[in-house]
Chains A and B, each alone.
Chain A
Amino acid sequence: MRISLRRGLTVPFKGEPSQIVDRNLAVDRIGLLGHDHGPIRAEVLVAAGEQVAVGTPVYRSRARQELLFCAPVSGTVERIEIGARRRFVEMSIIADGEDRRLDFDTSAADTPEGLRSLLLASGQWPALRARPFERIADPDGTPKALFVTAMDTAPHAPDPAPIIAERSQDFARGLAAMLLLTETPVYLCQPDIEPLARSSEHLKVVRFTGLHPAGLVGTHIARLQPPGDGETVWHIGYQDVIAIGHLLNTSRIDPYRIVSLSGPGVDNPRLVQVPLGADLHALARPNLTPGAKTILSGAVTGGRESTFLGRHDRQVTVVPRAPARQHHWLIEALRRVQTAAAFIPTQALEQTLGSGAPVTPLLRALSIGDAEAAQKLGCLHMAEEDLALASYVTGGTTDFGQKLRRVLDELEAGA
């Protein structure tokens, strides 16, 4: 099946990365961020100063004791931060350079229940996310469909095809695991190239062509199987599928991901292989061009300024930081208290939404927090990343992703 999307935009941006992977980067510090998974009430299983190996569970969810989160490097736990109401905020681990990995028991992984417990125990389950509301998938739940996203159209994103071709055995094994996990249709969403797997009754390979946001899973969900009333759909990225395949083939976790290090602030933009949660400042520092910089985890559209790589981010973008100009105190004061300027509907804005829904009414409903109108216009299948392009196009002063998150939280509480 081939779906061609007419609406999309190219984001012109300097610092295109070369597609050669640099595997020689040593990362000596990683961080696990609570922001990546939504509000989780955590029970921390290690203490500061303790030694961990790759795969050691470091914290788990209080509500679901089997949902474990594991360390991606071996080393010493440096710092643990828990926020209000036991919400997990951040944990940093200093890597010791040795790559000690724990072994997991994969013998029971050929049944759906065994596979689920393996994924939960090895910390791979948080790779599966559910929509609506974009949370970690419910381990007891059944989705309406499962989406494997094997394409990425964000500006400067790594090209999935060579990465998958290099690890084709792991990818095939991971895909088979996804087929085992659920009986509902599994959609493999890929660019318009040779199919990465064979289509069958259960696995549907769908090729998408078009500019960004054609590669976002929100677009795929809207076009193929938007969740109806009370339904959920799950999605997972291709690199996480490769990691699951690796776990099933070798009984060990693969904590490495290939991310692009790019942007006008880097003098040698390229792909790098780093563990999850790598320290971005240390990663980027050897390659920075002169001048103050902002380091974003994620693409230039929708990236967050962060010390560590996000769990689901596959890009690091470095942009120059605008110097703080001193204006007259009255002008500064006025600028600070002014209400935000409204966005103006332009033809560019019409191209930013992957589903066919009208953009301007949706953005207006989100701006005022009108959850009911937003739901009618189809916001349930979306996450913050789907509106990143719209925020970028309207000048970047209003974060529609944040407004969407507020509306989704309201809908989730009311549901």
Chain B
Amino acid sequence: MMGGVWHRDTISWLIVAAALPAAVAAVGTFGPLALGHMLLALAVIVFWQLVFLWSRAQPVSPIAIVTAIAVGVLAPGEFAPWQIVLAASFGTVIGEQVFGGWGRNIVNAAVAMLAFLYFAFPQTTIPGGGQLLALAVIPGALMLLVTGVLSWQVVLSAVVGTITVSLGLGENPMTVFASGSMVFGLVFLVGDPVASSATRAGRWIYGFLAGALLALLGWTDTGFDGPQAIIFACLVASLLAPLIDAGVIAATRRFWRPYNG
């Protein structure tokens, strides 16, 4: 069979390329600790991918690099190595591999990994990224938008959702978008093509939900909270994504019928 370019591996290399500037900016902002976390997480993920390749013939995927970069960007705090190993094992095995690898998962593996990390070790503080990180995400995001890997409906509705709820709470939405961790999470975690909604209308709802939850969970009395908000917003939104799809399909079935006249 002849094929065009959008095979799973091509897409994953594209996302890796888009995430590399953010990785460099994260190492610049947070120091060598972030790089150490990234490499450790990458080693663990690759190990588990090979285990599942051996036991279940599941093909390995370069998306491991993006997951590792996400760990470095959103969890650069003082975590001990064994904590990173545990979280990475959990995230990749339970979040991705048991379902059949990238493309068949319900939640993003990085989201599962980071949620585990935040729940298990809540005493460690996590610094949010600054404007450098936010700017480093932009070129990658544009490339993904142009190639159609990142859905513009999700990005736009997430931004609208964040702005709406932030204004509703009486806060300044620009603080959110100035935080590099938030922008990274919006583009690479909320915008993950596999974990987000599959229908066109569903994407709008899913994006808006993720953005609204981000603002709702993030704004505290002392300002904007940080990486925890984006992770939990993304987790809840991607868990609800299949339900949103089912609702959209049930509601719009009669509109696939022909035009009248």
A and B co-occur in one complex:
yes
List the interface of chain A (C-beta within 8 A of B). Answer: 1, 3, 11, 222-226, 296, 300-301, 303, 319, 334, 337-339, 341-350, 355-358, 360-361, 364, 376-378, 391-397, 399
Given contacts A3-B259, A339-B100, A358-B249, contact A344 B6 (CB under 8 A): yes
Determine the chain B residues whose CB is within 8 A of the CB of A392 once the complex forms: 1-4
State in angstroms the CA–CA spacing of A356 and B201 once bound together: 12
Closest beta carbon of chain B to A199's beta carbon, Å = 13
Of B152, B194, B258, most buried by chain A (CB within 10 Å of CB) is B258
Residue of B nearest to A349 (CB): B6
The stretch from B38-46, B52-60, B231-239 touching chain A is B52-60
- 9 sampled A-B residue pairs with Cβ under 8 A: A222-B256, A223-B258, A338-B59, A358-B249, A361-B245, A378-B256, A392-B2, A396-B1, A397-B7
Cα A151 to Cα B61 in complex, Å, equals 41
Q: A339-B56, A396-B2 are in contact. List 13 more A-B contacts (CB 8 A).
A: A225-B258, A226-B258, A300-B2, A339-B59, A341-B103, A342-B101, A342-B103, A358-B200, A358-B248, A391-B1, A392-B4, A395-B4, A396-B1
- Is the C-beta of B11 less than 8 angstroms from some C-beta in chain A? yes
Task: Decide: A344 near B151, CB < 8 A? Known: A356-B255, A357-B256, A358-B199.
Answer: no
Cβ of A211 to closest chain B Cβ, rounded Å:
14
Contact call B4/A342, Cβ cutoff below 8 A = no
Question: Complex: how many Å from CA A377 to CA B102?
Answer: 24
The binding surface of chain B is classed by DSSP as loop
- Residue pair A361, B249 in contact (C-beta under 8 Å): yes
Q: Do A346 and B256 touch (CB < 8 A)?
A: no
Assuming the contacts A393-B4, A394-B7, asked whether A360 and B256 have C-beta atoms less than 8 A apart, the reply is no
Task: Find chain B residues with CB under 8 A from A226 CB.
Answer: 257-258
CB <8 Å contact, B1 and A342: no
Give every chain B residue within 8 A of A301 (Cβ-Cβ): 2
| CB-contacts of B211-261 with A (<8 A) | 245, 248-249, 253, 255-259, 261
Q: With the chains together, A381 CA to B258 CA distance in Å?
A: 12
Chain B residues touching A, range: 35 or more
Q: How far is the CA of A376 from the CA of B152 in the complex (A)?
A: 28
Closest residue on chain A to residue B257 by CB atoms: A226
Residues of A within 8 A of B245 (CB): 358, 361
A-B contact count (CB 8 A): 117
In the complex, are the beta carbons of A397 and B258 less than 8 A apart?
Answer: no
Could you tell me the distance in whole angstroms from the C-beta of A334 to the nearest C-beta in chain B?
7
Asked whether B17 is an interface residue with its Cβ less than 8 Å from the other chain, the reply is: no
Task: Output the least CB separation between B24 and chain A (Å).
Answer: 25
Closest A residue to B100 by CB, please name it: A342
Q: Are A346 and B148 touching (Cβ within 8 A)?
A: yes
> Smallest distance from the beta carbon of B137 to chain A beta carbons, Å?
19
Cβ-based interface call for B33 (8 A): no
What is the interface of chain A mostly: helix, strand, loop, or mixed? loop
A396-B258 contact, Cβ under 8 Å, with A338-B53, A350-B200, A361-B198: no
Q: Is B10 an interface position by the 8 A CB rule?
A: yes
Point out which of A222, A223, A341, A364 has the most chain B C-beta atoms below 10 A from its C-beta: A341
Q: Knowing A338-B58, A361-B245, A377-B249, say if A346 contacts B193 (CB, 8 Å).
A: yes
A319 to B103, CA, bound (A): 30
Please give me the residue from chain A that is nearest to B202 by CB atom. Answer: A358
Residue of B whose beta carbon sits closest to that of A388: B1
- Which of B4, B57, B258 sits near A339, CB closer than 8 Å? B57
List the A side residues contacting B194 at CB < 8 Å: 342, 344-345
B-chain residues with CB within 8 Å of residue A395 when the two chains form the complex: 3-8, 10
Of the residues A224, A347, A397, A399, contact of B151 by C-beta under 8 Å = A347
Q: Which residue of A has the minimal Cβ distance to B61?
A: A341
Minimum C-beta distance from B83 to chain A (A):
31
Interfacial chain B residues near A356, Cβ < 8 Å: 255-256
| Residue numbers in A under 8 Å from B61 (CB-CB) | 341
**3 residue pairs, one from A and one from B, having the closest CB atoms:** A396-B3, A342-B103, A395-B7
Q: Which single member of B2, B152, B198 contacts A360 (CB below 8 Å)? A: B198
Asked whether any CB of chain A lies closer than 8 Å to the CB of B171, the reply is: no
Residues of A within 8 A of B11 (CB): 344, 346
Least Cβ distance of A316 to chain B in Å? Answer: 14
Cβ–Cβ contact B199 & A361, under 8 A: yes
Residues of B within 8 A of A224 (CB): 258
A350 to B193 Cα, complex, angstroms: 12
